[in-house]
Chains A and B, each alone.
Chain A
Amino acid sequence: MRARLTLAMILSVALAACAGILGLRHDSPSHPFEHRAHVLKGINCVECHADVSSAGETGPLHFPTDAVCRRCHEKPHDERSCSGCHGEPYVRQAAELARAQLRFEHPTHMVAVRGDCVRCHAQVVESRPDSVLPKMASCFGCHEHRDQWTLRDCDGCHVGLQAEGTPPDDHIVHDGDFIREHGVRAASARDLCASCHTERQCASCHGEGTVPALPWKLALGDVSLSGLHRAGFAARHAEEARADPGICTTCHTESSCVDCHTRENVAGTTARSPHPPGWANGEHGVQARIDPTSCAGCHGGAGEQLCVGCHRVGGPGGNPHGPGFTSRKNAHHDLPCRLCHGVGG
């Protein structure tokens, strides 16, 4: 019991000590603006954000100046600018980004909601909101945009999603192990992905001959960038391939391995051959059935003749087909059947 109490105390002290690092306690003097207190006092938004009713798509943002604050707070407690502490810097940055990247005018919306700003900026009533920018879901509360969403017609509101490069925070969140997940997520929604992502991003991984342009090869300093081939992949690539048969073929063609293996002199009958001694007489048949893509990585194309030398009809290698093998191909005319079963075979 005493040990548990001690452990709990140690954990509590450690957590308190790390609170700043973990983001539980803010070290910066700035904090979210006290919107809630102003709302509860019954102060109308436009008393401070006076320009918002006439703000167009361009021009200055509608943030109040110190002079506006001092109309009520006649004796400020500090000589510094109010916005230096009252309000997070990133709120202003987010507003500037929205001004640049969204087609939006406050005046028309002010009329539609009859001056009730909280209908969109619902977070102002929270005590410490992360942001007061309306989420896209709240836009969809009035503007259903079903047709636009179906037609992937984002340009009505977004200036250019591909140039904006801002990940959405409330929909289509790329969360968890998204590198693995993205394929199945994109299958039904390629065009939705293309709303924000360029062809270049797909081709950087899924293109042929793409290795020199891999994003994590180019971004050598961005160690937090996700990627299957990060870090010491060269050392563990054989283990990765064997642990997940066929995974390499998801992006690479069947002849991708041979370039590198030839360059590194691990192909053929050299001492660096990746195959263990006695490979040809032992396990190779079973392993080939588990992951034929690995075999094809080096022995595809012309290299297939190596197999046909033994695995021909009447040859010493015997029948390479697995149990229950069927094919719609013509055994005597189509490739690769005719390599073994050629006319007269």
Chain B
Amino acid sequence: MRPWVSAEGLVWAGAGAASVTGDVLVLSVRLHEPHGVAEARAGRFVLATGAIHPVQIDGAHVTARAPWGSMVETFGGLPVVPRFGARSYDWLAGGRVAQKVANAMTLGVSYVQRREDGEISNEEVGADLAAVPARWFDVAAFGAYDVTTPGLAEARASAAVRWTDWRVELFASQLSPGRLLPATSLFSVLGDLPSQTLGGTVRWRAAPRLDLLASGAGQDVAAGLGGNGWLRATLRLDDHGNGSLGLELRRVDVPDVQWTGVRAISTVPLGNGFRYSSEIEIVVPDHPDGRGVAWPWGLSSLSWRSMKGWEVAGALEASSTPLHRYEADALVRLSCALDTTTAKPPLRGEPTASR
């Protein structure tokens, strides 16, 4: 299409034993000024900006930017109802204003109001922050405040430092589940108990092909204190990561919920476009309560990809769950990726050197 317009779509359809179904996930057109000063999206897309909770809408989103780092966004539309469901006077509208400070920090303020059946369903103001004070340190955070039933709806923060083969991230969050529900829902008036999480993640590239990742968090989930943690090792079988082995151990221990899990993966390229993959997981709950002492799950697949973008994949999946003592499925997929590479457009002009 033209350099100032692009379009995107993602539609799926499927047939079950008794019905045919489908949905439109994305169907949008984007117009943009070639130098990025303004852009507009219209159609069906996921609206996610600032502290606004991501929501899929049929609507429009307009953004204007200035070279000195100011940005103004405004949006409006109808929240999507799955499977072409009916709406009854449901809509949302809002906006965000952001400013870049000292080329290292972005501060934003947002507002959104959502209505269902004409009634206020959600009304939130939010603030967001992203900063990169140094190449080895970055931080991001946002918070959303519920105006309808005054209180903090959601807040998240993350700060990370990076050096050589290490990366350490500290994160914190507070989530008030009831405020994530529409204010028209009866469950939004229970006066819910927010949960808080404080934790950290460490990544160490122990060897050129070996990554070790560890994460742990303490949680206050209203019913009491708890925590969760996991260890993950990934070994690439070649320099490009075409093949890999992985092992993950996980433990969750919060009031009423305790389980331990182990998961192993392997991907091995067999040559001539063939690839074998397998994945195994075993979860052992501390309190089975008649749901089985362990919940094993496994998948084994073989795929072949042609040079022209066609891929055929087949897999066997087997599991034992609290619902089904034994379950096995055979999966087959045929796909084709079209080459979207286009001829390189001409050089627009040598960027201006500042010194």
- Asked if A207 contacts B187 (CB within 8 A), the reply is no
Question: What 0/1 readout, one digit per residue, does chain A (89-111) give for beta carbons within 8 Å of chain B?
Answer: 01000000000100101001000
Task: List the A side residues contacting B279 at CB < 8 Å.
Answer: 223, 230-231
Question: What 0/1 readout, one digit per residue, does chain A (274-318) give for beta carbons within 8 Å of chain B?
Answer: 001000000000101111110110011000100110000000000
- Asked if A308 contacts B186 (CB within 8 A), the reply is yes
- Asked if A231 contacts B46 (CB within 8 A), the reply is no
- Give Cα A143–Cα B100 distance, bound, in whole angstroms: 19
- Give Cα A18–Cα B149 distance, bound, in whole angstroms: 59
- Asked if B277 contacts A150 (CB within 8 A), the reply is no
Which residue in chain A gives the minimum CB-CB distance to B107? Answer: A188
- Give Cα A23–Cα B106 distance, bound, in whole angstroms: 39
List which B66-103 residues lie within 8 A (CB) of chain A: 67-69, 71, 80-83, 98, 100, 103
Q: B120 to chain A: closest CB distance in Å?
A: 8
List which A16-41 residues lie within 8 A (CB) of chain B: 21-24
- Asked if A322 contacts B183 (CB within 8 A), the reply is no
Q: Contacts A175-B203, A326-B150 hold; do A218 and B190 have CB atoms under 8 A apart?
A: no
Partner of B283, one of A90, A235, A326: A235
- Give Cα A213–Cα B13 distance, bound, in whole angstroms: 9
Task: List the A side residues contacting B192 at CB < 8 Å.
Answer: 289-292, 322
- Asked if A289 contacts B106 (CB within 8 A), the reply is no
The yes or no answer to A335 lying at the interface (CB within 8 A) is yes
- Give Cα A199–Cα B14 distance, bound, in whole angstroms: 21
The yes or no answer to B246 lying at the interface (CB within 8 A) is yes
Task: List the A side residues contacting B2 at CB < 8 Å.
Answer: none
- Give Cα A304–Cα B254 distance, bound, in whole angstroms: 29
- Asked if B208 contacts A23 (CB within 8 A), the reply is yes
Question: What 0/1 readout, one digit per residue, does chain B (97-140) give for beta carbons within 8 Å of chain A?
Answer: 01010010011100000001101100000001110000100001
- Give Cα A337–Cα B120 distance, bound, in whole angstroms: 12
- Give Cα A276–Cα B322 distance, bound, in whole angstroms: 14
Question: What 0/1 readout, one digit per residue, does chain A (165-199) give for beta carbons within 8 Å of chain B?
Answer: 00000000101110011011111111100000011
Partner of A57, one of B201, B254, B341, B344: B344
- Asked if B45 contacts A199 (CB within 8 A), the reply is yes
- Asked if A151 contacts B35 (CB within 8 A), the reply is yes
Q: Contacts A155-B348, A188-B130, A224-B265 hold; do A320 and B189 have CB atoms under 8 A apart?
A: yes
Task: List the B side residues contacting A343 at CB < 8 Å.
Answer: none
Task: List the B side residues contacting A69 at CB < 8 Å.
Answer: none
Task: List the B side residues contacting A24 at CB < 8 Å.
Answer: 207-208
Q: Contacts A176-B167, A184-B158, A234-B319 hold; do A213 and B12 have CB atoms under 8 A apart?
A: yes
- Asked if A148 contacts B167 (CB within 8 A), the reply is no
Max chain A C-beta neighbours (<10 A), residue from B117, B195, B340: B195
- Give Cα A106–Cα B208 distance, bound, in whole angstroms: 32
Question: What 0/1 readout, one digit per residue, does chain B (240-278) give for beta carbons within 8 Å of chain A?
Answer: 100010100000101011010101011100000001011
- Asked if B82 contacts A150 (CB within 8 A), the reply is no
- Asked if A254 contacts B182 (CB within 8 A), the reply is yes
List which A197-239 residues lie within 8 A (CB) of chain B: 198-200, 202-204, 206-210, 212-213, 218, 220-224, 230-232, 234-236, 238-239
The yes or no answer to B293 lying at the interface (CB within 8 A) is no
Q: B255 to chain A: closest CB distance in Å?
A: 9
The yes or no answer to B328 lying at the interface (CB within 8 A) is no
Which residue in chain A gives the minimum CB-CB distance to B105? Answer: A188
Partner of A143, one of B167, B223, B313, B353: B353
- Asked if A254 contacts B187 (CB within 8 A), the reply is yes
- Give Cα A308–Cα B208 distance, bound, in whole angstroms: 60
Task: List the A side residues contacting B106 at CB < 8 Å.
Answer: 188-189
Q: Contacts A23-B208, A254-B182, A296-B185 hold; do A290 and B193 have CB atoms under 8 A apart?
A: yes
Interface window among A3-11, A47-55, A243-251 = A243-251
Task: List the B side residues contacting A108 at CB < 8 Å.
Answer: 350
Task: List the A side residues contacting B208 at CB < 8 Å.
Answer: 22-24
Q: Contacts A159-B345, A184-B140, A249-B181 hold; do A324 and B56 have CB atoms under 8 A apart?
A: no
List which A53-68 residues lie within 8 A (CB) of chain B: 57-58
Task: List the B side residues contacting A324 at CB < 8 Å.
Answer: 191
- Asked if B195 contacts A245 (CB within 8 A), the reply is yes
The yes or no answer to A163 lying at the interface (CB within 8 A) is yes
The yes or no answer to B355 lying at the interface (CB within 8 A) is yes
Partner of B239, one of A23, A212, A235: A23
Task: List the A side residues contacting B345 at CB < 8 Å.
Answer: 103, 159
Partner of B266, one of A190, A223, A264, A307: A223
The yes or no answer to A147 lying at the interface (CB within 8 A) is yes
- Asked if A200 contacts B10 (CB within 8 A), the reply is yes
- Give Cα A115–Cα B220 distance, bound, in whole angstroms: 61
Q: B339 to chain A: closest CB distance in Å?
A: 9
Task: List the B side residues contacting A293 at CB < 8 Å.
Answer: 177-178, 180-181, 187
- Asked if B213 contacts A176 (CB within 8 A), the reply is yes
The yes or no answer to A75 lying at the interface (CB within 8 A) is no
The yes or no answer to A117 lying at the interface (CB within 8 A) is no
The yes or no answer to B222 lying at the interface (CB within 8 A) is yes
The yes or no answer to A160 lying at the interface (CB within 8 A) is yes
- Asked if A223 contacts B188 (CB within 8 A), the reply is no
Q: Contacts A212-B12, A289-B192, A300-B185 hold; do A23 and B331 have CB atoms under 8 A apart?
A: no
- Asked if B186 contacts A304 (CB within 8 A), the reply is yes
- Asked if B167 contacts A188 (CB within 8 A), the reply is no
Partner of B48, one of A176, A202, A253, A328: A202
- Asked if A210 contacts B186 (CB within 8 A), the reply is no
- Asked if A235 contacts B56 (CB within 8 A), the reply is no
A to B CB contacts below 8 Å, 13 in the list: A24-B207, A176-B160, A176-B203, A220-B313, A223-B299, A232-B296, A235-B321, A235-B322, A236-B259, A239-B257, A249-B180, A292-B190, A295-B187
